[in-house]
């Protein structure tokens, strides 16, 4: 078989065989492969400028120290500007101990670096009571797979049986959720105030209750110029809090440029999701971002916590917050249920949802 030929290439079978092996991309690396399977290769137009982008721009950084002091108004303004212009920012002095950051990264690395026969016990496409481990949640729907494995833990709004979390990282996952939930509450207050709303408005809309931890492991890729770690997408949630180790690769679309998000020691990356762009009636922006395939021997590790509403999926409606709609700023989106929103998300390629709900 040649790369250009298709006659003897059965993509569906190769994807299924790979998934049935339950080894993930980490297993491919462990096998000593020097070439990536064909279904990981992205079309050339998707791989433009995947090297470090030629720009000196960087996403804003916000110092959260003394957030309840007379600095609060300045912090609110910084976060508003970053969320309105970039959709991304990093936070420092956020109150989460560096030890908790290091322990969480180490725990996720330990899970992924267990022997293949141990990892494979967790591998599958079902949620498994709120816990899933696999390569690409959209492996069978996407046009090209991405070079990463993922452990996902859905923590809310329904109670999770904590015993389902792999024991090797259970304590750290639970502790990390406690820390991030606290930070999320602070950020939701600041974002609410930035919109001119009561500081508890987003919390009142249950935006802290639906939480999922998505821990990505990007092992060394032998052909990083042919694939991606995660393709270009926006997050479908309200807000994302991202912890990443010091191996770079995250890029954010700003105008026509891709901007590298350089890791800052101890900092966390925050980004606006599709739901918050809709709820803010376009005051805040959900922007495209991607992760390059990892060319380094050391793995890239990131843990994203997605915050989503916790109301009833079938009957409670979401759209622009009524206080943000006026004669001068009419509503830009229709109302919808979370059930419709996530059905739409899971039945199409990774990408933006926003246009689908625009009026």
The structure tokens listed for 162 are: 């904590």
pTM of model > 0.75: yes
The answer as to whether 321 is a domain residue is yes
The residue range of the domain holding 247 is 11-357
User: Using CA atoms in the order 141, 138, 126, 277, what is the torsion angle rounded to 10 degrees?
Assistant: -120
The structure tokens listed for 172 are: 């750290």
pLDDT tens-digit map of 32-41? 999 999 999 9
The region of weakest confidence among 49-53, 57-61, 161-165, 227-231 is: 49-53
Residue 247: closest CA among 216, 270, 274? 216
Taking each helix axis from N to C end, the angle separating 98-112 and 167-194, rounded to the nearest 10 degrees, works out to 130
The answer as to whether 2 is a domain residue is no
Q: Which long-range contacts (CB under 8 A, 24 or more apart) does 295-298 make?
A: 295/220, 295/221, 295/224, 296/220, 296/247, 297/220, 298/220, 298/247
How many domains does the chain fold into?
1
Residue 81: closest CA among 284, 260, 218? 284
The answer as to whether 76 is a domain residue is yes
Please give the full DSSP string across 190-224, using - where no structure is assigned: HHHHHTTS-TTHHHHTTTTTEEEEEEEEE---S-G
Residue for token pair 């004669």: 327
Q: Are 72 and 80 within 8 A, CB to CB?
A: no
pLDDT tens-digit map of 285-315? 999 999 999 999 999 999 999 999 987 766 7
Q: What angle do CA 40, 41, 44 make, to 5 degrees?
A: 150
Domain CATH code at residue 240: 2.60.120.330
Given a cut of 80, whether residue 73 has pLDDT beyond it is: yes
The answer as to whether 334 is a domain residue is yes
Q: Are 308 and 211 within 8 A, CB to CB?
A: yes
The answer as to whether 233 is a domain residue is yes
For residues 190 and 198, give the distance between their C-alpha atoms in angstroms, rounded to a whole number: 10
The answer as to whether 5 is a domain residue is no
The answer as to whether 1 is a domain residue is no
Given a cut of 90, whether residue 200 has pLDDT beyond it is: yes
Q: Are 214 and 303 within 8 A, CB to CB?
A: yes
The pLDDT value recorded for residue 156 is: 84
The answer as to whether 318 is a domain residue is yes
């Amino acid at each position: 078989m040649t790369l250009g030929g298709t006659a003897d290439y059965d993509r569906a079978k190769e994807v299924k065989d790979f998934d049935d092996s339950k080894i993930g991309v980490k297993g491919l690396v462990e096998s000593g492969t020097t070439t990536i399977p064909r279904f990981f290769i992205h079309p050339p137009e998707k791989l433009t400028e995947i090297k470090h982008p030629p720009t000196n721009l960087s996403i804003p950084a916000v110092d959260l120290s003394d957030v309840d002091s007379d600095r609060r108004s300045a912090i609110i303004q910084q976060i508003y500007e970053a969320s309105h212009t970039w959709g991304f920012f990093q936070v420092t002095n956020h109150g989460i101990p560096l030890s908790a950051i290091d322990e969480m990264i180490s725990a996720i690395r330990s899970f992924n670096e267990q022997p293949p026969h141990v990892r494979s016990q967790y591998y599958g496409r079902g949620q498994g009571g709120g816990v899933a481990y696999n390569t690409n949640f959209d492996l069978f729907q996407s046009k090209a797979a991405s070079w990463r494995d993922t452990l996902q833990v859905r923590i809310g709004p329904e109670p999770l049986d904590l015993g389902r979390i792999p024991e090797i990282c259970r304590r750290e996952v639970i502790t990390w959720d406690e820390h991030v939930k606290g930070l999320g509450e602070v950020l939701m207050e600041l974002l609410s105030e930035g919109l001119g709303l009561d500081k508890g408005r987003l919390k009142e809309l249950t935006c802290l209750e639906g939480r999922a931890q998505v821990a990505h492991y990007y092992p060394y890729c032998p052909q990083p110029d042919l694939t991606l770690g995660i393709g270009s997408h926006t997050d479908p949630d309200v807000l994302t809090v991202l912890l990443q180790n010091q191996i770079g690769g995250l890029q954010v679309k700003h105008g026509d440029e891709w901007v590298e998000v350089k890791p800052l020691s101890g900092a966390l990356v925050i980004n606006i999701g599709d739901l918050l762009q809709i709820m803010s009636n376009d005051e805040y922006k959900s922007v495209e971002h991607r992760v390059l395939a990892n060319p380094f021997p050391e793995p890239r590790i990131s843990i994203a916590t997605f915050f989503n509403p916790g109301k009833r999926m079938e009957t409670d409606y979401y759209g622009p917050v009524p206080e943000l709609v006026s004669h001068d700023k009419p509503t830009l989106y229709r109302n919808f249920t979370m059930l419709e929103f996530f059905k739409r998300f899971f039945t199409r390629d990774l990408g933006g949802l926003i246009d689908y709900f625009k009026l």
